[in-house]
């Protein structure tokens, strides 16, 4: 069971806007930055959003991130077929174990 909670699946049609949620606690999302990763089938994960809402160069502005309290969200607007992938949220956790924690991942299907 993952420390950060994500819905296991999400879907949308081309052009739609979809959001993926990520719920945590005061020791992780509540006190640290949230990061989002995209994993296309058969490939390594790729950084999609850093420090809650920043996009690395090369990531389309269709992707956006937000954080409020102990929850975060990833929004994808103008959905495209190539967005079909697994998406993971992650954050540092300040608890005794001092770990990086991931969400369980959300499989996005473009219908």
Task: Give min distance, CB of 105 to other proteins, in A.
Answer: 4
Q: Which of 20, 22, 90, 108 binds other proteins (CB under 8 A)?
A: 90
Stretch touching other proteins by CB under 8 A, among 13-21, 68-76, 77-85, 95-103? 95-103
Residue 68: exposure state from Cβ atoms within 10 A (0-12, 13-18, ≥19): exposed
Tokens, residue 105? 């991942």
Q: Is the dihedral angle over the CA atoms 53, 94, 20, 107 positive or is it negative?
A: positive
Task: Decide: is 45 part of the binding site for other proteins (CB under 8 A).
Answer: yes
Residues whose CB is less than 8 angstroms from the CB of residue 109 and which lie 6 or more positions away in sequence, other chains included: 9, 10, 11, 84
Do 8 and 109 contact (CB within 8 A), yes or no? no
Task: Decide: is 85 part of the binding site for other proteins (CB under 8 A).
Answer: no
Task: Decide: is 110 part of the binding site for other proteins (CB under 8 A).
Answer: no
Task: Decide: is 35 part of the binding site for other proteins (CB under 8 A).
Answer: yes
Report the interface residues with other proteins, using CB under 8 A. 2, 32-35, 37, 44-47, 50-51, 56, 88, 90-92, 97-105
């Amino acid at each position: 069971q993952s420390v950060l909670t994500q819905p296991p699946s999400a879907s949308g049609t081309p052009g739609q806007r979809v959001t993926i949620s990520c719920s945590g606690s005061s020791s992780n999302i509540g006190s640290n930055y949230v990061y989002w990763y995209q994993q296309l089938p058969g490939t390594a994960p790729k950084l999609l959003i850093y420090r809650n809402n920043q996009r690395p160069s090369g990531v389309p502005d269709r992707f956006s991130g937000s954080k409020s309290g102990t929850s975060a969200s990833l929004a994808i607007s103008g959905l495209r077929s190539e967005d079909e992938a697994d998406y993971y949220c992650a954050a540092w956790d300040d608890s005794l174990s001092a770990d990086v924690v991931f969400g369980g991942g959300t499989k996005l299907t473009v219908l």
